[in-house]
Amino acid sequence: MRPETKKFLYDMQQACVSLTVFLKGKNLEDYLQDELLRSAVERKLMILGEALSQVVRIDPETEIQIPDARKIIDFRNILVHGYFAIEHETVWGILQKDLPLLMNQISRLLKD
């Protein structure tokens, strides 16, 4: 794995850690009522998607090892360009269901 790839994966890992900290003890209602929290979460999700798009660009083999890579990148694009259509419940579902899986995938890749 290229050093640049590891740097972007590390950035992704740090975004995941931040998201975990932001969401600790929170529920959907907390998330819906807290604009600052939603903004922070969306920013970290944008970082995740952008870092992954850089990984795919410089090291396409890594994309194969992250099953939802294209969806993550596409979601970043929605956050940036389609912000007006974001459904907060959908974001919450992604955070609850997909974030732990992504964290495990990134950790595994960084160990190799």
Structure confidence by residue, pLDDT tens digits, 53-93 = 999 999 988 888 998 999 999 999 999 998 888 999 999 99
- Write out the residue range of the structural domain in which residue 11 sits: 3-111
Number of domains in the chain: 1
**Residues 72, 91 contacting (CB under 8 angstroms):** no
The torsion region of residue 28 among left (phi > 0), alpha (psi -120 to 50) and beta comes to: alpha
Give the pTM. 0.92
Q: 3-class secondary structure for the chain?
A: CCHHHHHHHHHHHHHHHHHHHHHCCCCHHHHHHCHHHHHHHHHHHHHHHHHHHHHHHHCHHHHHHCCCHHHHHHHHHHHHHCHHHCCHHHHHHHHHHCHHHHHHHHHHHHHC
pLDDT one-digit tens code per residue, 4-51: 999 999 999 999 999 999 999 999 999 999 999 999 999 999 999 999
